[in-house]
Structure 1
């Protein structure tokens, strides 16, 4: 490549690692005992999904895998954003041909989450049969964005978010290694590197290209020193520090949930829309509201879960920017709804008992007597069909040794007050009575 071509390449490309030891922040993958490095050294590369925030090194790792593949492997790159899925069938046919001659295709699929579930399905047979070794790269949570069947056939590889220290180290390496920056002969203050690193949101590409812009600007102005004042003067830093994977993400998400829990619709809408404006996936916000509807409202307002689910469906059908209206409506509804955490307390209490006593036998009367032998053993004996008894039989369903357990205790808020009254009328006077805790259970 000519020097003129090199000059046009951004610093993030000029400094792309050529060796595993050059990768910053992903030692668990590319260090001497790193998973991917070891797999290549042992010639046992596997299908994987690389999951990490932008600029953490997914494409770089793909590049290094290509460089270190054994001779009987062929590496191909596929972009889910710019290439058609129809091309994949041609690639798979080629992979079949290569396999016959003892060559393995390694297919790197960038932004695999951009493919819908049906499109992802076409990878299932070729991955399972070993026709290709699939390396998918995604910035989105694979649990939500990658077909579970495909995910089960690949190993999930998580890239760590780059710290300020990682990025500062990378910037220093750029200053000492990049030929163009070296030719500029600039004096760059340590504080400048720290500010860039802190402002990049864990994205190495952003950090390097910020440095590149700063150095080019200084050189054009015939400046030999770059200090914080120069940095601020030319405003090359990103306008906002919100990133979907950064600390701001967790802070705002926490504030959003706590505002809904505290029944403050104004704060709830503010924090939610601030995240949306910062580039947050609207489906993430809708999912959080679905969880919130059961965790913090529950049966105090059973419609809360319906509204939250409807908001998620609206996001999928309408998309941005209009779905912000649906999200706002749902956030307001959940904020002003009566609150109860009885559902999550019931779940946690039941899980605790299950984990302590995982194998308590199901009462014989509740078992289904599908064979004559089972019937002789007492399966289904004495079971009372509630509909024959006016809809309620007043009998115990928990195993005998757990019969005193109470998991769900409704509160006095919203619809749960009616739930509590119904349970009182059904169970009063029995040992399953779920009334006032001060009133003793019959035994």
Structure 2
């Protein structure tokens, strides 16, 4: 069985690599390192199909190092020992360049097997991972490597690879392939920054294209069928999941309804109703908060409705809720007050509850001095009396600060008026 098209036409020079200009353009760091020939241990971090394996292969070619490829999903400690066994032999006189794909699947012991040889330079490690290496690669390996982050490739760059792939197929097959419409752009957009996926989509489209008078014609309908939904790169357990959720919440907090709806759509089109609803409720309480407290109840009602009707209709109430949160006034004053209080608790600043606030609903409580001088606020004008509630050592602490929004400023004005005028007078007065 022949290799996939993406492997058959893999770039052989850095100039042929599409995307990653932030590292590979002339004068950029990674390109300069590769051209120097002095290759350090590196970790390539980024989504699938963006050039990690390709760049590693180019490094091996340009440095004339023996390249070993292992995959963390299938390789064992014995495979590592086989690579080590080549050291100081005629097979690898200049050392070994080890490309370890999906290093996050190697356990700690397997990764530690490499340490000695990475230290003395007999093995140069280039590891790749689709997961955040700072979470999934053990510290001893990570501290000896430089991390380079690969980005999803922009459609304009992917389109160049797609166009080249169609030309490659024409030459390989010795036939003419006609594109009915802006096919290259359509594939580039549909594959969501994954160059490998887009190139393999080219081969699928060419295979599925009908032949008439010796010409294969690729249509927009074929692309839609073969590359549909490919752009939705989403893994509920991976970095992309948390990145989208983070952007979703920050867009609502930042009062950008368009961005918030975009990330909501990415979550719901992937079927992740649970995560979308959870972040929406958190944002309503944390970021809208007391500036528009009734909005929290509205968002809760929308979330309940979404779970009742399920997808796809759940998008309707959730869209309402997202736009409400994004466009509502914002305040995190209550949450910040809690954080300040919690910081004191963790620092041991507590103190005994004042005796008059302690529970006195049991026999013998009065003998212990519990609740004797407590003043019932409803017995006083406007239902308030000047009374200390915090422990003595914290009596002058202020955790909550009124926000500058209309709702909290109205509450502040109300309490300033009451606390400045009643002075603890009883209702009888």
CA contact under 8 A between 2:43 and 2:126: conserved in structure 1?
yes
Deviation at 1:74, TM superposition (A): 2.4
1:396-418 per-residue CA deviation (whole Å, 9 max, x = no partner) reads: xxxxxxxxxxxxxxxxxxxxxxx
Cα RMSD of the aligned pairs, angstroms, is: 4.7
Partners of 1:134 and 1:149 in 2: CA distance: 13
Counterpart residue number, 1:81 = 73
**Structure 1 residue aligned with 2:57, among 63, 66, 70?**
63
Pairs aligned (count): 309
Corresponding position: 1:236 with 2:230: no
Q: How does 1:39-438 map to 2 (within 5 A)?
A: 39-70=33-64, 73-95=65-87, 97-98=88-89, 103-180=94-171, 183-219=174-210, 224-232=216-224, 235-239=225-229, 241-244=231-234, 254-255=247-248, 296=286, 341-342=335-336, 346=340, 424-427=390-393, 429-430=395-396, 432=397, 434=399
- The structure-2 alpha-carbon separation of the partners of 1:253 and 1:183, relative to structure 1 and needing over 3 Å to count, comes to farther
Contact 1:423 1:434 in 2 (8 A): no
Q: How much has 1:30 moved relative to structure 2? A: 3.3
- Deviation of 1:98 after TM superposition, in Å, equals 4.8
Cα distance in 1, alignment partners of residues 266 and 6 from structure 2: 33
Give the Å deviation of 1:202: 1.0
Contact persistence 1:252–1:271 (CA under 8 A): no
CA distance in 2, matches of 1:108, 1:386: 53
2:10 paired with 1:16: yes
Residues 435 and 14 (structure 1 numbering): CA distance in 2 closer, same or farther, change over 3 Å? closer
CA deviation profile, 1:283-339 (whole Å, cap 9, x unmatched): xx7xx98xx79x959xxxxxxxxxxxxxxxxxxxxxxxxxxxxxxxxxxxxxxxxx9
User: How much does 1:82 deviate?
Assistant: 2.1
**CA 1:55–1:344 in 2, change beyond 3 Å: closer, same or farther?**
farther
Contact 2:336 2:400 in 1 (8 A): no
Q: Is this contact kept in 1: 2:352–2:391, CA < 8 A? A: no
1:25 to 15, 19, 24: 19
Q: CA deviation at 1:164?
A: 0.8
Alignment partners' CA distance in 2, 1:224 and 1:185: 6
Aligned equivalents of 2:244, 2:218: Cα separation in 1: 33
User: 1:88-110 deviations in whole A, cap 9, x for unaligned?
Assistant: 13322433x35999622211101
State how far apart, in whole Å, the 1-side matches of 2:221 and 2:73 are.
Answer: 39
Structure 1 residues 147 and 213: alpha-carbon distance in aligned structure 2, compared to 1, 3 A threshold: same
Cα 1:164–1:149, aligned 2, differ >3 Å: closer, same or farther?
Answer: same
Asked if the contact 1:175/1:181 (under 8 Å) is kept, the reply is no
- Structure 1 regions of 5+ residues with no counterpart? 260-269, 298-338, 351-384, 393-420
CA contact (8 A) 2:4 2:200 kept: yes
CA contact (8 A) 2:338 2:399 kept: no
Bigger radius of gyration among the two:
2
**Contact 1:14–1:178, Cα closer than 8 Å, also in 2:** no
SS of the equivalent of 1:25 reads coil
After superposition, what is the alpha-carbon deviation per residue over 1:330-381, rounded to whole angstroms, capped at 9, x for unaligned? xxxxxxxxx952279649x99xxxxxxxxxxxxxxxxxxxxxxxxxxxxxxx
TM-superposed deviation, 1:10: 2.1
1:395 alignment counterpart: none
In 2, distance between residues paired with 1:344 and 1:135?
46
CA 1:386–1:17: 2 relative to 1, 3 Å: closer
Distance (Å, rounded) in 1 between the aligned partners of 2:92 and 2:173:
47
Query: For residues 11-55 of structure 1, what are the alpha-carbon distances to aligned partners after superposition, in whole Å with 9 as ceiling and x for unaligned?
Result: 211210011111000234333334333223322110000011110
Structure 2, unmatched stretches of 5+, are: 253-263, 288-332, 355-386, 403-411, 420-429
